[in-house]
Amino acid sequence: MASKSSQPTDRIPKYIQSLSGEPTDEQIVELAEVSEYKTAISSLMNDTEDMSALEKYKKAVVHLLLPQHDQSATE
């Protein structure tokens, strides 16, 4: 099994690379990208499933998984 250190760093998002050592759950949740996703999914699951909530969720997922991509390219 490959270790984390053998992963090419160009494939790891910058927001993950900014964490030093083994990050805690609290440090991960405090990241802007993760916090945006957490808010979007919570709103989608607990409030209404309208188009606005779905668009916020879509934007948060793209930003979380593909932070280097232009958001307008996914619209």
More confident of the two residues 68 and 4 = 68
Six-digit token string for 42: 């919570």
Tell me, what's the pLDDT at 73?
47
pLDDT digits (tens, 9 = 90+) for 3-62: 555 556 677 778 888 888 888 889 889 999 999 999 999 999 998 889 999 999 999 999
Q: Is the pLDDT of residue 72 over 70?
A: no
Q: To which H or E segment does residue 48 belong? A: none
Tell me, what's the pLDDT at 1?
42
Residues 6+ apart with CB under 8 A from 36: 59, 60, 63, 64
